[in-house]
A and B are shown apart, each in its own frame.
Chain A
Amino acid sequence: MEPITYLQAVILGILQGFTEPFPVSSLGHAVVLPRLFGWNIHQNDEFFLAFLVATHLATAIVLFLMFLEDWRRIGRGMVRSLRTRDISDADGRLGWLLVVGTIPAGLVGLLLEHPLRTLFASAATAAAFLVVNGVLLLIFERLRTRAPAPGDWTGDVDSRLSHLSWRQAFAVGTSQAAALIPGISRSGVTMGGGLMSGLSNDDAARYSFLLATPIIGAAAVLKLPDLLGHHGDGVRGQALVAALCAAAATYVAVRFLLRFFETQRLTWFGVYCIAFGGLASLVFALS
């Protein structure tokens, strides 16, 4: 019997693609939903971890391609800054802000991913942390530096993002490490950090997507041997199908969110996380 069916792969792929950019914790959903559906899939199953590598890699590739023009400008800016040893132009500065934000989260991820995954392995814990994530989103909106106003945030978006301070970039980037706990959303905490640093919702979302690409991509590439090795036996076909679904869903989700955050806030996602996490906790408690 296959450890993951093709139907499950399609559902998990779409789920990953939608929930990764949304501030609702993709890992939390990937842990809670299989349990709610009664599937015999657990977060620490080696085949499931290998399977998730494919969906995360697909998400990272789509994010990279969707912001390809930004990455080109950022790359050129970084090369320019290395050549002149000066970080004054917006593209180069944004690139180094992303590096400063990525390194601490990457280090914490490299060193603590396994212990945290083991510690917070259960679906019930993930459901509880989904509630925590929802509360955090509401707090971020409450504590945001300033409310958006008409005429705010005009001009080039990368130039606006490059006005973040090094300390803010470090803090927002480090907060990504919290997403190692199933239920806490990486995009949620980075968007929240962006809001508290004075960014608008859509700028915070864009910064979150740029920040997501290297860390999700690097994590997936580092774990690719798991999928290609014996842990991936029996799930590689399903992983490919799931990756395609995740890619399509990520594209739709990012397009939607960039428009959504032009006028809307994190509040709806906070309410959703509290409701879904609370309901799942109740189901787990009663079952």
Chain B
Amino acid sequence: MTKHRNLVVPAIVVGCVFLVIAFVYWLEPASSLPSFFPGHDAASSHHHVKHGVAAFVVALGCFAFAWFQTGPSDTSSGTS
């Protein structure tokens, strides 16, 4: 797997953003979500739990990606 060390910081930042989004979905009802969030509904008190799960999974994916990019370089390529 080719390492892209310059993507580590962006991946962590994006992961943190999605983590925050996940908690917003879990904690806030649809009426209190920012209007640009998918699922915003001014007349609803429903919590979009699934949207939160989706955002959380994306966050985990970003963190996992960043983690592997910080690992040792691909041994098969022979480069460091």
Contacts and interface: CB of A to CB of B under 8 A. Distances in A.
Contacts of B64: 99
Contact of B68 (A87, A103, A111): A87
B67 interface: yes
B70 interface: yes
Interface in A184-210: none
B56 to A, nearest CB: 10
B71 A85 contact: yes
Interface string B62-73: 001001101110
B4 interface: no
A84 B50 contact: no
A139 B56 CA distance: 36
Given A85-B72, A87-B1, A88-B75, A107 B51 contact: no
Interface in A94-149: 99, 103, 106-107, 110-111
A222 B52 CA distance: 13
Contact of A86 (B38, B50, B53, B72): B72
Nearest to A113: B50
A157 interface: no
Interface in A75-97: 81-82, 84-88
Contacts of A110: 50-51, 53-54
A82 B67 CA distance: 8
Contacts, number: 40
A166 B67 CA distance: 17
Interface in B10-65: 38, 50-51, 53-54, 57-58, 61, 64
Contact of A111 (B1, B51, B71, B76): B51
Given A87-B1, A88-B75, A222-B50, A107 B57 contact: yes
Most buried by B among A87, A99, A107, A166: A107
B53 to A, nearest CB: 6
A49 to B, nearest CB: 15
A103 B71 CA distance: 22
A103 B54 CA distance: 9
A110 B57 CA distance: 11
Contacts of A84: 71-72
B61 A103 contact: yes
A53 to B, nearest CB: 15
Nearest to B75: A88
B70 to A, nearest CB: 6
Interface of A: 81-82, 84-88, 99, 103, 106-107, 110-111, 166, 222
18 contacts: A82-B67, A84-B72, A85-B67, A85-B68, A86-B68, A86-B72, A87-B1, A88-B1, A88-B74, A99-B61, A103-B57, A103-B61, A107-B54, A110-B53, A111-B38, A111-B50, A166-B1, A222-B50
